[in-house]
């Protein structure tokens, strides 16, 4: 089983992009949520079932509330981001028969590295 905390910073950079969809039209402000967004990206990359997506979204909301540190504005943004991923995140979650594993991680990293070298 792959865990987010076991990834190197380089691996996180290749799999995660912070807040908002990868390649999105409009940049999404990160406020104080960059690490929470990256962890959420990783959980969406792992994928698997509808229940796993719900767990990822609930964990995301819990982490953002911690990041908000009781700041009312940040708490409102945390709720808005949570509602956005619940409404639109289905298009970005990796639904599959099984959760991705170490072999999938190696493939993704090799593919991402190769993509960055091609210009």
Tell me if 114 sits within 8 A of 107, measured CB to CB: no
The per-residue pLDDT for range 4-49, each reduced to its tens digit, is 999 999 999 989 999 998 877 788 999 999 999 999 999 999 999 9
Nearest-angstrom CA–CA distance, 40 and 36: 6
> Whose CA is closest to 30, among 43, 16, 42, 44?
16
In this predicted structure, what is the pLDDT of residue 115?
Answer: 79
Indicate the pTM of the whole model: 0.92
Tell me if 74 sits within 8 A of 31, measured CB to CB: yes
């Amino acid at each position: 089983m792959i865990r987010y905390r076991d990834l190197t910073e380089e691996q996180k950079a290749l799999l995660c992009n912070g807040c908002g969809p990868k390649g999105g039209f409009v940049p999404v402000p990160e406020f104080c949520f960059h690490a929470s967004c990256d962890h959420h990206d990783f959980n969406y990359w792992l994928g698997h079932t509808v229940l796993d997506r719900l767990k990822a979204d609930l964990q995301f909301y819990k982490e953002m509330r911690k990041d908000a540190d009781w700041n009312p504005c940040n708490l409102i943004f945390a709720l808005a981001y949570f509602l956005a991923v619940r409404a639109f995140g289905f298009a970005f979650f990796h639904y599959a028969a099984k959760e991705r594993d170490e072999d999938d991680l190696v493939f993704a990293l090799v593919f991402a590295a190769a993509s960055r070298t091609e210009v």
